[in-house]
Amino acid sequence: MQTVLITGASSGMGKETAEKLLGEGYTVYAAARRVEKMRDLERIGASILAMDITNEEEVRTAVRRIDEEAGGVDVLINNAGFGLYGAMEDIPIDEARYQFEVNLLGPALLTQLVLPHMREQGAGKILNVSSMGGKIYTPLGSWYHASKHALEGWSDCLRLELKGFGIDVIIIEPGVIDTEFGDVMVEPMLKRSGSGAYAELADRVARATVANYAPGKGSPPSLIAGVISKAIRARRPHTRYVAGRYARLMIGLRHTFGDRVFDRVVMRAYR
């Protein structure tokens, strides 16, 4: 059975995906910073890895271990990520740089390290978990959306480069999912932009985010786990899989009606 490496496996979509793939018989290496949050995965058969995707040595150590134990990674799921929110003017460039380290550059390094094995065997799958935010945009999310737009463009180029080696590159675009995203995003955003020139907008965005990410409002993480499993099993997977609350609606709205209409719809949602 194939060997899978999934990052960001300590919660949400990552943990659900690891559980599903274990149940389907894959050899699963689950990676995250919060090792203690993955002990349940370890009990059902996963090998867990302490890995901060921005720490090059930890990334290299993890791949070396998989190479030694399993012969290499057959399926890479770049799932680790986070959302940096706040007015662009209020966010220090160092924080913006870290957003790109987590959402793009860390996954890029990991991909570079697993590719030699995939090329040698003439097969492999790389699944990059983006977001509907890789196709649309919202106020106070400039750095987050920039990182996800970049991930999508990077993935598209990578797909062309690897096609001749039998390696598929697949983009997953979730919508609103019941995860920690809303809780993790709102408080730092208000700390950055809740009392300055953008305070009114930050308050509106915070209230809308809390409402949209309230328990039961989003789609379950198991939905994305199912989509990822389907993409892995497909002989000829789609280049993109869109799933979850609002994803098709919002991406389709922008594509169909253009930016000006989308601007009005989005800002109306935050009133």
Q: Mind telling me the catalytic residues?
A: 10, 130, 144, 148
Judge contact between 34 and 10, C-beta under 8 A: yes
**What does residue 131 show for φ and ψ, rounded to 5 degrees?**
180, 160
Query: For the chain, what is the HEC assignment?
Result: CCEEEEECCCCHHHHHHHHHHHHCCCEEEEEECCHHHHHHHHHCCCEEEECCCCCHHHHHHHHHHHHHHHCCCCEEEECCCCCCCCCHHHCCHHHHHHHHHHHHHHHHHHHHHHHHHHHHHCCEEEEEECCHHHCCCCCCCHHHHHHHHHHHHHHHHHHHHHHHHCEEEEEEEECEECCCHHHHHHHHHHHHHCCCCCHHHHHHHHHHHHHHCCCCCCECHHHHHHHHHHHHHCCCCCCEEEECECHHHHHHHHHHHCHHHHHHHHHHHCC
Residue with the two structure tokens 């094995």: 117
